[in-house]
């Protein structure tokens, strides 16, 4: 496993202490809820839903989602509090919500990537050997079956901010502790290989999302796109000055291409290209995170082409 990285529902019990964001307006969770609700309305027959990357269920109003679907499966790559909450809640929530943790979205755990990578770093493997291993892993993981038993199982597949969290930050953190051993050209060689592997994992993840869908199901995905630091805060002001939706969308795509987080831009563009143009939803909003950072976020919803 990778290393750790430094109320509006009828099924909520009285006295519920968890905050599902149901009364918020204009926040990140409000925009997520709006995108999900619009997607549900476009579904012919809601049956089962799955949420990948729900974390400690802060972004998605899971009890509200369970009202629409007979079963909602929540997947996380790490442990979360959902199972504990379900057991204390009981009733309809326990019967309709299912929690799966330590889910390997990438296939890296199946090939013991993090252990092997750490061992190579500890043993001072040459940069060329490290880079070769990283590039080879991009092909190895494609041969691994991921969530095979759940393929074509869900009417709605929801990806909650996963694209930027899949791999890169964890692997970069591991490498950072050993960088002083390598020259500038060695570091560049390893970094290029890390990016190569990351890009393959991002597009493979999109394929996984679509593989989980039933015919005529919908996929919903969102992620942070641009960090709005002091130099980029004017982006939002310029966006609000534009008059038409077409102008705003064109401006957003330009901003994403110029300033966007690489994994987010690749992931959302690749997913966009895999979806039909009819009934395609695209939303963007400002996301104030708990860490104090502010992002321009984007969300997509559609059916596979």
- On the question of pLDDT at 237 being above 60, the answer is yes
What pLDDT does 23 receive?
A: 67
What pLDDT does 41 receive?
A: 95
Read off the pLDDT of residues 251-286 as tens digits, 9 standing for 90 and up. 999 999 999 999 999 999 999 999 999 999 999 999
Tell me the CA end-to-end span of the chain in Å, nearest whole number.
Answer: 34
- On the question of pLDDT at 171 being above 60, the answer is yes
Can you give the CATH number for the domain in which 256 is found?
3.40.50.150
* Position 178 in a domain: yes
* Position 17 in a domain: no
* Position 86 in a domain: yes
* Position 93 in a domain: yes
Distance CA 29, CA 24 (A): 7
Q: How many domains does the chain have?
A: 1
* Position 217 in a domain: yes
Distance CA 217, CA 303 (A): 6
Read off the pLDDT of residues 121-150 as tens digits, 9 standing for 90 and up. 999 999 999 999 999 999 999 999 999 999
* Position 8 in a domain: no
Q: Could you tell me where the DSSP H helices lie in 110-218?
A: 113-122, 127-140, 168-176, 184-211
To the nearest whole percent, how much of the chain has pLDDT over 70?
A: 86
* Position 165 in a domain: yes
* Position 218 in a domain: yes
- On the question of pLDDT at 7 being above 60, the answer is no
Distance CA 60, CA 21 (A): 8
Read off the pLDDT of residues 190-227 as tens digits, 9 standing for 90 and up. 999 999 999 999 999 999 999 999 999 999 999 999 99
What pLDDT does 19 receive?
A: 62
**CB neighbours of 168 closer than 8 A, spacing ≥ 6?**
194, 195, 198, 263
The residue range of the domain holding 69 is: 28-302
DSSP sequence for 24-53? --SSHHHHHHHHHHHHHHT-SS--EEEEES
- Please compute the mean of the pLDDT values over residues 44-49 and round it to a whole number: 88
């Amino acid at each position: 496993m990778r290393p750790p990285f430094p109320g509006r529902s009828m099924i909520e019990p009285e006295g519920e202490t968890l905050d599902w964001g149901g009364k918020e307006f204009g926040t990140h969770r409000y925009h997520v809820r709006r995108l999900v609700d619009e997607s549900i309305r476009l579904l012919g027959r809601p049956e089962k839903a799955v949420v990948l990357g729900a974390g400690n269920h802060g972004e998605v109003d899971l009890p509200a989602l369970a009202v629409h679907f007979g079963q909602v499966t929540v997947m996380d790559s790490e442990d979360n509090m959902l199972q504990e909450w379900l057991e204390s809640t009981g009733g309809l929530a326990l019967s309709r919500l299912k929690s799966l943790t330590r889910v390997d979205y990438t296939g890296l755990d199946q090939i013991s990537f993090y252990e092997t990578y750490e061992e190579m770093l500890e043993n001072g493997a040459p940069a060329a050997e490290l880079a070769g291993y990283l590039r080879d892993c991009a092909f190895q993981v494609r041969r691994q079956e991921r969530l095979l038993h759940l393929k074509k199982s869900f009417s709605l597949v929801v990806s909650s901010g996963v694209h930027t969290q899949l791999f890169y930050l964890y692997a970069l953190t591991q490498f950072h502790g050993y960088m002083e051993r390598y020259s500038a050209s060695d570091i560049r060689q390893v970094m290029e290989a890390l990016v190569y592997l990351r890009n393959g994992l991002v597009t493979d993840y999109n394929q996984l999302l679509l593989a989980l869908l039933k015919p005529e199901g919908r996929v919903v995905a969102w992620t942070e796109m641009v960090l709005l630091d002091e130099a980029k805060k004017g982006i939002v002001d310029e966006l609000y000055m534009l008059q038409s939706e077409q102008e705003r969308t064109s401006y957003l795509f330009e901003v994403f291409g110029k300033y966007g987080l690489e994994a987010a831009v690749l992931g959302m563009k690749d997913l966009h290209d895999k979806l039909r143009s009819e009934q395609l939803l695209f939303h963007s909003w400002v996301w104030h995170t708990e860490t104090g950072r502010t992002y321009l976020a984007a969300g997509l919803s559609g059916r596979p082409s």
